[in-house]
Amino acid sequence: MREFTFAIDYEKGVDPVMDVFLEHSTLSAHSLDAVVDEHAFWRMEHVTGPETALDRLEDIRFDDSCCGEAITEQRCAAERHHDVVERSTNELVLYSYLADIRQCESVHTLAGKHLPDGLIFETRRQEETCWWRVLMRSDEQIGIFYDELGARLHNGLSFRMGHLRDASEWRREQMAGLNLPEEQETALRTAVSAGYYDPPRETTLDELAVELSIPRSTLSYRLRQAESTLIHRYVDRNETTRWLE
């Protein structure tokens, strides 16, 4: 398998979806997409951010008159299907399926036209940038895809090349979720269930250590390690730019 990465930067007023990200710097989205063929694709998108931004993004996705896919001057006509899988005040999980795509030039349709069947995409959106990672069986036609993608972008969009290489490691943590060592996960789940992280705190490290039959110092170490992993994963906003290295 081969992996191709790139980024597209958006100026304000060019794309309705990206305008929401430009207006809300704390809004971020991660998606997995699959191309059925050049006329159809599906997406599962996970978005976190302010409730007002999520409301606006949901309205745009469900508005068939808004095109949030095209990257050239040619707007998209398609049969659109959207479903909200999960929604809270700061989180949105949205499923989208576009079929019978006509007169459209998006990353998905251009890739479906030039690259082999079975494509999978991972994207991240934040502020003015959408990062793309493409997993493909062969890069035989990647030159044509690259040339067409870079040369035909809509005014106000700019292209940044990442890399083309073997996909020996394809972001397993995003596909499988966050993994902690078993002893750290057990300690963390026990602490959460017992109310250790609730205000006011409902238990102590000593009580948890007795419940788990381990020394207090061992429990404290395991919780600190788990907390460090979770905090760094949440805070590290430079992770997306590593796609381009």
Domain layout of the chain by residue ranges: 2-167, 179-237
Give the pairing type, strands 129-136 and 77-87: unpaired
Per-residue model confidence (pLDDT) at position 176: 44
Cis amide bond preceding 16, omega within 30? no
- Distance CA(242)–CA(245), nearest Å, equals 5
Where the chain has pLDDT below 70, the residues are 169-179, 234-245
- Distance CA(95)–CA(82), nearest Å, equals 6
What are 172-224's pLDDT values in tens digits? 445 444 567 889 989 999 999 999 999 899 999 999 999 999 999 999 999 99
Give the pairing type, strands 2-10 and 157-166: antiparallel
- Distance CA(51)–CA(39), nearest Å, equals 33
Per-residue model confidence (pLDDT) at position 36: 80
Per-residue model confidence (pLDDT) at position 68: 72
- Distance CA(4)–CA(102), nearest Å, equals 25
Residue pair 186/32 in contact (Cβ under 8 Å)? The answer is no
Per-residue model confidence (pLDDT) at position 175: 44
Per-residue model confidence (pLDDT) at position 100: 86
Full-model pTM: 0.74
Per-residue model confidence (pLDDT) at position 158: 93
Q: Name the fold adopted by 179-237.
A: Arc Repressor Mutant, subunit A (1.10.10)
Per-residue model confidence (pLDDT) at position 80: 86
